Amino acid sequence: MKQLLYALFGYRFIYLGMSTRNLGRLKIGIARNVGLRWESIDRSMKGKQFPVFCLPTFHALWFEGHLHRVMRRFNRPVEGDGGTEFFTYLSPFSWLGWIYVLCAMTWAFLISHLLLYLLFSGIWCWYWEIEF
């Protein structure tokens, strides 16, 4: 089932992460397994890297690109694996962008999973001939 979701709908985790070496920056990225992704990032960069927030979403590749475009003015690249995906949060103007990023990630998770729930419960009610 997971392979079908990955292939057809781009179902992946979108995450925010931090680094102890690059203070004042957050990373926006996607992965099928967030823990394994952060292990590879941690090996390629100095300091300790760790995820802060992650949610599963559909069409995650497009969604990650959209969030990168929203935050491109605050891009602060660092050396290492995925280093171009770090964005500052020290500028007051960037706070508006980060509020948007958090709201958009939460919205994408809630809407997509709510639609799936309604779809499956509707099919179940139709099958058992129950009022929905």
Q: What is the pLDDT of residue 104?
A: 95
DSSP 51: E
Q: What is the pLDDT of residue 12?
A: 93
pLDDT score of 129 more than 90: no
Strands (E), the chain: 12-19, 25-31, 49-57, 86-88
* pLDDT tens string 19-60: 999 899 999 999 999 999 999 998 999 889 999 999 999 899
For the chain, which residues make up each domain, given as ranges? 2-127
pTM: 0.83
Q: What is the mean pLDDT of residues 9-14?
A: 89
- The model's confidence at residue 132, banded by pLDDT at 50, 70 and 90, is low
Residue 23: name the closest of 53, 50, 61, 60 by CA: 50
Tell me how far apart the alpha carbons of residues 19 and 116 are, in angstroms, rounded to a whole number.
Answer: 35
* pLDDT tens string 79-121: 888 889 999 999 999 999 999 999 999 999 998 888 888 888 8
